[in-house]
Structure 1
């Protein structure tokens, strides 16, 4: 494949699969015999969301939120909701927010507070990756499968201007 950027593999597809299986096992144990509503933050979490959802053993309902705060590799620091929840699956439900990465924490804060205002029974955050040292003031608990360095990452849903999402591994952008 011809890449516009110099990419270096950070996390292999095998390690991604193992991490998702481990997270799914934890969720399956925690919510055994209960229904869960999964809310994916699109578009970055699309692959993580689909792979995780297929490994869950309880009844699930799903919806998506579309939020943006990036232009290219830079955060605009402005959170824009392009799509909010369209189904009544949050109020009095166990809700899990599925996000690709926690970077500054601003997007997750906005989404968490929006969903909290809809009065869920419980509200949890899971992320595929956690960018080290970028969100020290993030105040909500979350579970993350991987830690990545403070570099721009692509693949497995991560992107630069919508490029590279389809790659089955996670890469750092080296140029």
Structure 2
């Protein structure tokens, strides 16, 4: 399986247009963006470049600490009653997204939380999360590229996605 950089760019444009339309139709002019885990950063950057409305000027990159399993944000915290967009590279078991959404709901009482993922792995989900926008469906395989590392912790930098 291989998804070319051209196909990724095309899908990012398609997703960005749909996201922009949704937020424009709902009169959202301030959007908080959360990117859980480093692998989603390239996807998030590309999406944010193309979102036309609203101004997404707050980016929060988070990660889970192994010791305490607590969410730590690398920027300022979301405002209460915010619109939050989670941008994630891959939706596999659903546990990361489910835990993050619960945390955000408990801590910040957002107006809404929407999720966009580049890849939806076709496996049984341990925790179901509604995904509003998704790029590609993939089989249950380890993929790398476009921010995601291979089994050796390398290959994040390649501009395509592959399991080969």
**What TM-score, normalized to structure 1?**
0.81
C-alpha distance in 1 between matches for 2:31 and 2:109: 14
Q: Which residue of 2 aligns with 1:96?
A: 85
**1:51-130 map, 5 Å:** 51-57=46-52, 58-60=54-56, 61-67=58-64, 80-81=69-70, 83-84=72-73, 86-117=75-106, 118-130=108-120
Listed as ranges, the gaps of 5+ residues in structure 2 are none
Stretches (4+) displaced over 2 A: 78-86, 137-140
SS of corresponding position for 1:167: coil
Cα-Cα RMSD: 2.1
Which residue, 19, 28, 40 being the options, matches 2:35?
A: 40
Question: Where is the helix percentage greater, Structure 1 or Structure 2?
Answer: 2
Name which of structure 1's ranges 158-167 and 92-101 shifts more when overlaid on structure 2. Answer: 158-167
Q: Which residue of 2 aligns with 1:158?
A: 148
**What is the number of equivalent residue pairs in this alignment?**
156
C-alpha distance in 1 between matches for 2:84 and 2:134: 16
SS of corresponding position for 1:50: helix
Shift in Å, 1:85: 6.2
